[in-house]
């Protein structure tokens, strides 16, 4: 069970219109084709419309302009956008769930030189280094590592096992999933005459602006001398590599197993399918869609 709401409260939250029984309560969500009594589903894609007439879901969100072709046994809530409304309900649930996590569990370590905000959660075995700042309502789950001189904003969620290297800057409302690594060294090595390689010190940092989400086991390298930047609103999937000195523009989405070599720059509102690769020093403009398995190289 993830919630227990009256249909009237849901309609009020979504600014929707109830068609049917106004006394129903729901305690979970479901797919419309697998709907069960006491659950809420949604219909956004009309190719699933036939399931509406047979679903056992108690409540279904539909678009305001939807007109049923047959009799309906379930209660409808008509909203501007059923898919976005459903997402808003799930977001409300996640926010309520996050509020349950507060306090500092032990054992954990917070250096005395660091500052932590109000209503923070620090899970067991988490570590916060020197001179770092953690904003209000941010949640650090067990086994999170935060290095020295890190700044993390408000209302962030950093899941178990994520690592944030020193000097990283993270904005408000960011999410880091388990296994993600932010600010690790860029891949910089100078070839020597003896055939060996000398490591080039990576003294820059990584910056994540507001509302960025980083998927599980994704790595964002720090800059060599300046910053690797993920601009606000960008969403990066699992198993993605962003090399040193790269920049990802606002509201860009990058699907799993993609990679960006050093100093590549991507504009805003771009979309990368899975396994897209960018060679170093490339510039991608705004509103570009790159499909699955495309590899762009310098010409």
Instruction: Give catalytic residue positions.
Output: 244
Greatest CA separation found in the chain? Answer: 80
- Which residue in the block uniquely carries the two structure tokens 């994520």? 162
Closest CA to 229 of 207, 253, 202: 207
A 10 A CB-CB count for 29 gives: 18
Dihedral sign for Cα atoms in the order 44, 47, 53, 57:
negative
Cα torsion 97, 100, 106, 111 to 10°: value is 90
């Amino acid at each position: 069970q993830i919630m227990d709401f009256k249909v009237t409260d849901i309609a009020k939250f979504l600014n929707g219109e109830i068609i049917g029984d106004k006394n129903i309560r729901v305690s979970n969500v479901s797919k419309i084709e697998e709907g069960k009594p006491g659950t809420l589903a949604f219909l956004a894609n009309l190719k699933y419309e036939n399931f509406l007439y047979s679903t056992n879901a108690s409540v279904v969100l539909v678009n305001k302009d939807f007109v049923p072709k047959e009799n309906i046994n379930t209660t409808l809530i008509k909203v501007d956008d059923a898919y976005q409304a459903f997402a808003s309900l799930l977001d409300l649930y996640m926010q309520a769930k996050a509020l349950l996590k507060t306090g500092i569990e032990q054992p954990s370590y917070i250096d005395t030189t660091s500052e932590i905000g109000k209503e923070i959660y620090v899970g067991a075995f988490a570590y916060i280094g020197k001179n770092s700042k953690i904003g209000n309502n941010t949640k650090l789950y067990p086994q999170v590592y935060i290095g020295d001189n890190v700044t993390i904003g408000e209302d962030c969620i950093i899941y178990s096992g994520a690592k944030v290297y020193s000097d990283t800057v993270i904005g408000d409302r960011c999410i880091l999933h388990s296994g993600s690594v932010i600010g690790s060294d860029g891949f910089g090595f100078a070839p020597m005459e003896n055939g060996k390689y000398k490591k080039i010190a990576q003294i820059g940092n990584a910056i994540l602006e507001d509302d960025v989400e980083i998927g599980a086991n994704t790595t964002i390298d720090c800059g060599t001398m300046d910053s690797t930047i993920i601009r606000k609103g960008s969403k990066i999937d699992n198993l993605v590599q962003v090399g040193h000195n790269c920049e990802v523009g606002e509201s860009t989405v990058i699907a799993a197993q993609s990679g960006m070599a050093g100093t590549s720059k991507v504009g805003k509102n771009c979309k990368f399918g899975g396994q897209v690769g960018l060679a170093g020093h490339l510039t991608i403009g705004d509103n570009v869609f790159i499909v699955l398995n495309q590899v762009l190289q310098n010409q």
